[in-house]
Amino acid sequence: MIIAIDGPAASGKGTLAKRIAEHWGLPCLDTGLLYRAVARDVVLLGFRIDDPWAALIAARSLHPAELLDPDLRTPQAGDAASIVARIPQVRTALLVYQRAFATQPGGAVLDGRDIGTVVCPDADAKIYVTARTEVRAKRRFLECQGRGEGVTIEGILADIRRRDERDASRGSAPMRPADDADLLDTSDLDIEAAFDAAVGLIKRKI
């Protein structure tokens, strides 16, 4: 069973994906971490963030253990990720790892921007998670505050808007719901209600 969870930054898709994976006893891959790790490696190698060759080398040599780095969770890492994510060769290099994860015996849950459209177009269930921009910014703000990061709500809002625009307008695998995805707006739902709604949608498909 393959479950694809897509949606914009801070929509709650990551939390939902983890809960869904636990519920069905499936492994879960946060694919945003792959792009975040590539961006970090490009900078560590001393290249410009938009250098396609450095990004391709970083993507091809990415090791799963790198995804555990807590620094990958910051808004700056997310912003840098959306820059390398525009490079088609980087996306192709990361596709191999994502498809291998998705097709392991028993299935998997993957969350990202293009899981339902590109990575797993034949997924058994696809959910596109959305929430109003202000709601997403507030959630991300509280999350960053909890980690002791010095952020402002205005800064987070600007970051989310910039990233939405970049992710939705790129030529290669832009962020969008698959034609056969179910839409789930979590603006007015807490995590339990969002989880219940997602389970209901998935059960109708499997």
Stretch that binds ligand C5P, among 17-25, 27-35, 62-70, 190-198 (CB under 6 A): 27-35
Q: Please give the Cα distance from 154 to 186 (Å, whole number).
A: 21
> Is residue 32 involved in binding ligand C5P (CB under 6 A)?
yes
Q: What is the DSSP string of 124-193?
A: SEEEEEE--HHHHHHHHHHHHHHTT----HHHHHHHHHHHHHHHHH-SSS-S---TTPEEEE-TT--HHH
**Contact of 59 with 93, CB cutoff 8 Å:** yes
End-to-end CA distance of the chain: give it in Å, rounded: 8
Binding mask 121-160 for ligand C5P (x = CB under 6 A): ----------------------------------------
> Is residue 113 involved in binding ligand C5P (CB under 6 A)?
yes
Nearest of 57, 56, 41, 44 to residue 90 by alpha carbon: 56
- Residue 41 or 114: the one with the smaller Cβ distance to ligand C5P is 114
> Is residue 78 involved in binding ligand C5P (CB under 6 A)?
yes
The answer to the question of whether 7 is labelled as a binding residue is yes
Stretch that binds ligand C5P, among 29-37, 100-108, 134-142, 152-160 (CB under 6 A): 29-37
Strand partners, 128: 6, 183
Interface contacts to ligand C5P, rule CB under 6 A: 9, 31-32, 35-36, 78, 81-82, 85, 112-115, 163, 167
Residue ranges of the binding site: 7-15
